[in-house]
Amino acid sequence: MTNNIKDKNSQESIRLEISEFNSDGSCNSELEGKKFKVFGAIPGEIVLVNIVKEFSDFTVVNVSKVLKSSPNRIEPPCEFYLLCSGCQFQHLDYEFQLKLKTKIVTEEILKNENFKHVEILNTIRSDKLYHYRNHARFTISKKPPLRGNLGFVNKFSRKIFKINKCLLMDHKINYLIKLIQGKLIGMSQLSIRVGANSGFALIQPDFQDIFSEIKSGQKKITEYFLGNPFRIGSPSFFQVNTKQAEKLSELLVEHLSLDGSEMVLDTYCGVGVFSVLLAPFVKNVVGIEISDSAIEDAIFNSRHLDNVEFIKDSTEEALKKLDFHPDIVILDPPRSGCKKNVLDSLKLIKPKKILMISCDLESFMRDTEILCMNDYQLKLVQPVDMFPNTKHIEIFGVLEKLN
Ligand SMILES: C[S@@+](CC[C@H](N)C(=O)[O-])C[C@H]1O[C@@H](n2cnc3c(N)ncnc32)[C@H](O)[C@@H]1O
């Protein structure tokens, strides 16, 4: 029975029965012909909700009270949950989160008739459910009453709310927040990156005039990754969950069956993590990267290896000019995925294997489907939980050339 009844504590509450999950972490519900996107719910539950925002074709609501609870529900530990855009799954127990991520990926892949044969593995769990992020970007309020306070932006009102800690962040980041909160007058943004393994910190911008006792304004940081030191310049990309990124990197070697004769092309290579880790197992690695800072780091990080080279260019342009034939291509593009001409070039280059790594299921599916139209077969998909308690899923896919 679905009735629009008012919660006795709140004039605004609406009673909803919850149906399936959406890809943004919300759930669907319908009442008297009206569609709702419900945050903080689980399919099968009956909840009271508060309206957050109304659109012409649906209304966004947050759960205010659970009337019939799912067995997979837990108490979200963060006081800012549902206000902040960082986490969507804190109210789900971790086993359920992992199963849900595998289900989301499986359903998306099986929508394509040609992918019925694909081996889809269970999502690789993260040992840490909280405090796994090595990088934080905060907004600082310039106006009273929060002037000088750092925080996040409310996902609905877009107003800054002050935080004293974020449960996703490394403990060292939260320690720093405690020291500086409320004293950041005149600043608008703050980035803190820490080495989860090395313990080093990189704080931007330089605020030594306010906090002389805290080192800031560093240009680079060193992080140990599977025992190897990597220099990471302040503007360079580096995976935010070091431990899970290590597990992801190990998948490369595990799924490549290398015999040492391979030429590997590591596109969108960042500071050269995959290039450096694969170098001992293959003949040559060539990395491609567009960012000046990341390519300088990659060259520095591979200085002890004589079979690694880097091309500073866009993957789009570098593939057009490639003067060797790679056996294996690693594709690890930004969230938006590969440009169409990258996929067109790969069809001409014809590597035997393509490893596709993506933090976005939609662009992963789009790019994989294009590659698999004639030339490649998607053999295996391995989701990795790089971002526990959030809707985000890292996806690792193995594509093999059809004869
Ligand atoms: C998701 S990161 C992957 C980095 C690396 N594989 C790693 O795991 O550390 C994507 C990288 O692609 C770079 N990038 C973005 N657009 C690019 C393009 N068009 N061509 C080459 N590199 C690009 C970014 O600077 C970033 O370093």
Residue-wise pLDDT for 259-274, tens only, equals: 999 999 999 999 999 9
Ligand 1 near 163 CB (within 6 A): no
**pLDDT over 70 for what percent of the chain?**
97
Q: How many domains in the chain?
A: 3
Smallest CA separation from ligand 1 atom 14, residue: 268
> Is position 63 within any domain?
yes
DSSP string, 213-266: TS----SEEEEEETTEEEEEETTS---S-HHHHHHHHHHHHHTT---S--EEEE
Smallest CA separation from ligand 1 atom 18, residue: 314
Ligand 1 near 270 CB (within 6 A): yes
Ligand 1 near 298 CB (within 6 A): no
Does residue 199 share a domain with residue 312? Answer: no
Q: Provide the terminal-to-terminal Cα distance of the chain, rounded to the nearest Å.
A: 56
What is the mean pLDDT of the segment spanning 193-209?
95
Ligand 1 near 223 CB (within 6 A): no
In this prediction, residue 151 has a pLDDT band, given cuts at 50, 70 and 90, of: very high
Does residue 298 share a domain with residue 377? Answer: yes
Question: Which stretch of 8-12, 19-23, 92-96 has the lowest confidence by average pLDDT?
Answer: 8-12
Ligand 1 near 230 CB (within 6 A): no
What is the per-residue pLDDT for 159? 87
What is the per-residue pLDDT for 158? 83
> Is position 8 within any domain?
no
> Is position 158 within any domain?
yes
What is the per-residue pLDDT for 12? 61
Q: Which of 225, 230, 236, 237 to mutate to test ligand 1, by most ligand atoms within 8 A of the CB atom?
A: 237
What is the per-residue pLDDT for 157? 81
d(CA 251, CA 229): 20
Smallest CA separation from ligand 1 atom 19, residue: 314
Ligand 1 near 334 CB (within 6 A): yes
Question: Which stretch of 153-162, 193-202, 273-282, 285-294 has the lowest confidence by average pLDDT?
Answer: 153-162
The structure tokens 């906090």 sit at: 211
Does residue 207 share a domain with residue 103? Answer: no
What is the per-residue pLDDT for 260? 97
Ligand 1 near 317 CB (within 6 A): no
CA 293 to centroid of ligand 1, rounded, Å: 11
Of 215, 233, 251, the residue that ends a domain is 233
> Is position 39 within any domain?
yes
Pairing of strands 135-140, 189-194: antiparallel
R_g of the chain computed on alpha carbons: 23
What is the per-residue pLDDT for 311? 98
pLDDT at position 6 over 70 = no
Smallest CA separation from ligand 1 atom 6, residue: 269
> Is position 81 within any domain?
no
Does residue 213 share a domain with residue 175? Answer: yes
What is the per-residue pLDDT for 2? 34
Express each pLDDT in 93-134 by its tens digit: 999 999 999 999 999 999 999 999 999 999 999 999 999 999
Atom of ligand 1 nearest to the CA of 330: 6
> Is position 90 within any domain?
no
Does residue 364 share a domain with residue 322? Answer: yes
CATH number at residue 193: 2.40.50.1070
Question: Which stretch of 101-105, 140-144, 299-303 has the lowest confidence by average pLDDT?
Answer: 140-144
Atom of ligand 1 nearest to the CA of 239: 9
Does residue 208 share a domain with residue 288? Answer: no
Ligand 1 near 337 CB (within 6 A): no
Q: How many other CB atoms are there within 10 angstroms of residue 105's CB atom?
A: 22
Ligand 1 near 364 CB (within 6 A): no
For 65, residues 6+ apart whose C-beta sits below 8 A from its C-beta are 7, 9, 13, 47, 48
Does residue 392 share a domain with residue 267? Answer: yes
CATH number at residue 63: 2.40.50.140
Name the strand (E) or helix (H) holding 28.
strand 27-31
CA 148 to centroid of ligand 1, rounded, Å: 33
Ligand 1 near 102 CB (within 6 A): no
What is the per-residue pLDDT for 154? 86
> Is position 164 within any domain?
yes
Q: Which long-range contacts (CB under 8 A, 24 or more apart) does 96-99 make?
A: 96/72, 97/385, 97/388, 97/389, 98/122, 98/123, 98/125, 98/385, 99/123
What is the per-residue pLDDT for 403? 81
Does residue 391 share a domain with residue 284? Answer: yes
Express each pLDDT in 212-249 by its tens digit: 999 999 999 999 999 999 999 999 999 999 999 999 99
10 Å CB burial of residue 172 (0-12, 13-18, 19+) is middle
Does residue 396 share a domain with residue 247? Answer: yes
**pLDDT over 90 for what percent of the chain?**
90
SS3 63: strand
CA distances from 210 to 190, 253, 283, 382, 399 (A): 13, 47, 51, 46, 52
What is the per-residue pLDDT for 146? 93
Q: Which of 234, 244, 290, 356 to mutate to test ligand 1, by most ligand atoms within 8 A of the CB atom?
A: 290
Does residue 33 share a domain with residue 106? Answer: no
CATH number at residue 119: 3.40.50.150
Question: Which stretch of 149-158, 280-289, 306-315, 334-343 has the lowest confidence by average pLDDT?
Answer: 149-158
Average pLDDT of the residues of the chain: 94
pLDDT at position 5 over 60 = no
Of 187, 204, 233, the residue that ends a domain is 233
Does residue 206 share a domain with residue 154? Answer: yes
Of 233, 255, 286, the residue that ends a domain is 233
What is the mean pLDDT of the segment spanning 348-377?
96
Does residue 160 share a domain with residue 26? Answer: no
Structural domain of 44: 14-73
pLDDT at position 11 over 90 = no
Do 109 and 365 touch, CB atoms closer than 8 A?
yes
Q: Tell me which residues are annotated as active site.
A: 359, 394
> Is position 391 within any domain?
yes
Express each pLDDT in 43-91 by its tens digit: 999 999 999 999 999 999 999 999 999 999 999 999 999 888 899 999 9
Smallest CA separation from ligand 1 atom 27, residue: 270
Q: Which of 225, 267, 268 to mutate to test ligand 1, by most ligand atoms within 8 A of the CB atom?
A: 268
pLDDT at position 170 over 80 = yes
